[in-house]
Amino acid sequence: MFRLAVDIAFRHLVAHPRQTIALLLGTVIGVSMFLTISALTRGSEGEFIRRLVDSAPHITISDEFRRPRVQPADLAHPAGAVEVRHVKPVTETRGIRGYAQVLDFVRRQPGVKATAVLVGQALITFAGKEFAVALNGITPKEFEAISIVGEDMKQGSLDALAANPNGIVIGAELAKTLSLHLGNAVNVVATNGQVRTFRIVGVFRTGQVNYDTSQTFVQIKRVQALMNRPSRANSIVVQLDDPMQARTIAERIEAQIGYKSLSWQEMSENLLATLATRNVASYTIISAVLLVAAFGIYNLLSTVVGEKQRDIAILKAMGFLGRDLELAFVLEGLLLGLAGVAFGIPLGMFFMYLLGDLKLTVPGMGDEPISIPLDWGLDQFLLAGGFALVASLAAAYLPARRAARVEPVAILRGAV
Amino acid sequence: MSEAVLRAVDVTRRLRGDVPVTLVDSATMEAAPGDFIAITGPSGSGKSSLLYLLGLLDRPDGGEVFLQGEPTSGLSDSQRAALRLARIGFVFQSYFLLPEFTAAENVAMPIRRLGRVTGDAAMARAAALLASLGLADQARRFPRQLSGGQSQRVAIARALANDPPLLLADEPTGNLDSRASALVFEIFERLAKEGRTVVVVTHDMDFARRAGRNVRIVDGRITD
């Protein structure tokens, strides 16, 4: 019976070539758009996350606590009747206590690279202009292994900091703002008023204007001296082999050492939530395209069932069962779906190829053209194909049920 | 006398509604192999309704229809469909050929559904049946390419596809000219002579007179 049902379904489709082609186009465009837009969505998401992950440490351990420390009086008398107001905590030098031990503990975690950083605010002055920046005190070799800044050097290198204790590496945007060049000497003023002269030994460009304007790098010992914080670091930056594990590892580290450990996901929660919302919107739109195609199939099959009442009646009179006819009409939907997938996938791949070949120049990213990020995998093809087939089958099911319920006597009596 | 192929005993069919209508009222009749029976009567007298009951297309509200001695009222829809497929052939006034299939494919349709032979064998049998009805050269034509008489002969070939012992026809010559009608009559007569039971509902009194037996129905009741 199956072959006969396929034959009946196929003949019905061939008998209405214009309608069939129009419906087929709906499914083909739906499947190809599904693939193209999902590849764009995933590609841009991947690219965005990669930039997010690469541009900042995977985990940043700072010299802060999530909950402020409890004062000694509160610890000694948690239910005391006397309240002591205006208690001033002891003034202490900020920074991670025993950062060498903390760093040692962090480095013992599997798949982890870490280095200590002392970050402070400073003013860079040059030729009468001044600019507020973040002064990052680093150990050049260690930092280069962790950060992508080393890969984004346009002039000089991070390594040059090791050879030149008074060297400073700045971003290309800052260099442009202050008209600075490699080899220029700049004055750096710390928040405590101390001033030191550094020579520019490197210029980087990450492509993120804010980062390239505000971040500067010098040797950690110079920052410690400039800020009167000897042997201190206020941040430990961590790079992971698997960035997706950042949240779990950050929680583990914080639980052990007590200092606030922020994963890149936690730092970018808003952005990731926006990304998730955008993904839902994208998939809703492309699913709607396929649903519209499915409604087309439903319409065609409803019309065919309506037009074919007499044929259905005679087939049932002959001895065909309701389920035979149901099968034939469901197969009609399935054939449309299969053909839509068979033509839609190559068309979607063609669209992806065209988009992948496109080069765009983005303001602020230099003159180098960039490619549109695309990402596709077997799962997307299965999803597009599966969704189209399920939608086609669902669209065919209701008319098929109607065909199965046709009462031959009522039709034959009216027809003769 | 050989065993009846078809026997209806006190068969009644009513339509329920605001005004109940009795379509067939206690009809009793019998048909043996080789019988050629014409059912006649005025329009709306219940001829077609009786034919649908005899052909297991409709269920009686009372009485019993026996097919080759087996009672059929207790059978499920699918069992009745299986009986129709293997033992009953239908011919209608409007031919009811499937327009997307050729003449031969239309004839092969019940054979393929029965599934006892391969598709090729079904097509071969369909071609042979069409040839036996003088349509050998029309086998590959679509229904829209056939005349009324040719279409009705294709419909008869389709009714005979699974070699049923019983052939039921509802006004088979209603849409045909006299020449085509005469040809259809000859075919039915030949089939009856070959041992098949042929029951035909007709308005054509000439057709009825020439049939072997006449059953007249008025207001749902068989009168003679």
The C-alpha of B117 sits at a distance from chain A's nearest C-alpha, in angstroms, of 12
Are A20 and A129 members of one domain?
Answer: no
* Residues of chain B neighbouring A1 (CB-CB closer than 8 A): 113, 115
Residue A302 C-beta-side C-alpha neighbours within 13 Å = 9
Question: CATH 3.40.50.300: does it fit domain B6-222?
Answer: yes
Block residue for tokens 């052909």: B55
The residue with greater pLDDT, A57 or A172, is A172
Residue A85 lies in a domain: no
Residue A125 lies in a domain: yes
- What is the H or E stretch that residue A402 is in? helix A378-404
Residue A100 lies in a domain: yes
Averaged pLDDT in 10-residue chunks for chain B of 224 residues: 82 88 91 93 90 93 93 92 94 90 95 91 94 91 93 93 93 85 89 93 88 90 84
Decide: B141 and B170 in contact? Cβ < 8 Å: no
Are A278 and A157 members of one domain?
Answer: no
Q: Does B115 sit within 8 Å of A1, measured CB to CB?
A: yes
pLDDT in tens, A183-212: 999 999 998 889 999 999 999 998 788 889
Q: Where do the domains of chain B lie? A: 6-222
Question: Could you tell me the two tokens for A395?
Answer: 């669209």
Check pLDDT > 90 for residue A336. Answer: no
Are A249 and A307 members of one domain?
Answer: no
- Cα distances from A143 to residues A19, A96, A113, A236, A290, in angstroms, run 65, 18, 10, 10, 49
Check pLDDT > 60 for residue A416. Answer: no
- Cα distances from A230 to residues A16, A102, A166, A176, B88, in angstroms, run 85, 17, 17, 33, 105
Decide: A177 and A126 in contact? Cβ < 8 Å: no
Does the CA dihedral A95-A101-A103-A106 come out positive or negative? Answer: negative
| Single residue among A259, A286, A305 that ends a domain in this structure | A259
Provide CB contacts within 8 A for A236, sequence distance 6+.
Answer: A60, A61, A96, A99, A102, A103, A106, A114, A115, A116, A117
Residue A84 lies in a domain: no
Q: Please state the rounded mean pLDDT for residues A161-172.
A: 92
Q: How far does Cα B33 stand from its chain's mean position?
A: 14
Residue A59 lies in a domain: no
Nearest residue, CB atoms, A319 vs list B49, B81, B171: B81
Decide: A224 and A118 in contact? Cβ < 8 Å: yes
Q: Which of A20-24, A105-109, B182-186 has the lowest mean pLDDT?
A: A20-24
Nearest residue, CB atoms, B58 vs list A12, A319, A409: A409
Q: Which of A59-68, A164-173, A234-243 has the lowest mean pLDDT?
A: A59-68
Nearest residue, CB atoms, A416 vs list B85, B109, B170: B170
- Cα distances from B52 to residues A317, A410, B32, in angstroms, run 9, 11, 18
Residue A295 lies in a domain: yes
Question: Could you tell me the two tokens for A159?
Answer: 């390594």
Question: Could you tell me the two tokens for A317?
Answer: 């009179």
Residue A200 lies in a domain: yes
The total number of structural domains in chain A stands at 2
Residue A365 lies in a domain: yes
Domain around A353: 2-53+271-415
pLDDT in tens, A364-409: 555 667 788 888 888 888 988 888 888 888 888 888 888 888 888 8
| Single residue among A234, A259, A284 that ends a domain in this structure | A259
Are A366 and A249 members of one domain?
Answer: no
Are A239 and A127 members of one domain?
Answer: yes
Q: Does B55 sit within 8 Å of A317, measured CB to CB?
A: yes
Interaxial angle between packed helices B103-114 and B77-87, expressed in degrees from 0 to 180 and rounded to the nearest 10: 130
Antiparallel, parallel or unpaired: β A195-204 and A153-156 = antiparallel
Q: Dihedral (C-alpha) A357, A149, A41, A371: value to the nearest 10 degrees?
A: -10
pLDDT in tens, A264-307: 888 888 888 888 888 888 888 877 877 777 777 777 777 777 77
Q: Which residues of A touch B (CB under 8 A)?
A: 1, 3-4, 11-12, 14-15, 310-311, 313-322, 324, 408-409, 412-413, 415-416
> ipTM of this predicted complex?
0.90
Are A299 and A245 members of one domain?
Answer: no
Decide: B146 and B69 in contact? Cβ < 8 Å: no
* Residues of chain B neighbouring A318 (CB-CB closer than 8 A): 84-85, 90, 109-110, 113, 158
Return the beta strands (E) in A213-372 as ranges.
215-219, 235-240, 261-263, 359-360, 370-371
Question: Could you tell me the two tokens for A370?
Answer: 């960039």
Q: Please state the rounded mean pLDDT for residues A109-138.
A: 90
- What is the H or E stretch that residue B10 is in? strand B6-15
Are A290 and A405 members of one domain?
Answer: yes
Range B156-167 burial, b when 16+ CB lie within 10 A, else e: bbbbbbbebbbb
Q: Which residues of B touch A (CB under 8 A)?
A: 48-49, 52, 55, 57-58, 77-78, 81-86, 90, 92-94, 96, 98-101, 109-110, 112-115, 119, 158, 170-171, 174
Are A34 and A174 members of one domain?
Answer: no
Are A254 and A290 members of one domain?
Answer: no
Q: Does B98 sit within 8 Å of A416, measured CB to CB?
A: no
Q: Does B113 sit within 8 Å of A320, measured CB to CB?
A: yes
Nearest residue, CB atoms, B92 vs list A316, A321, A416: A416
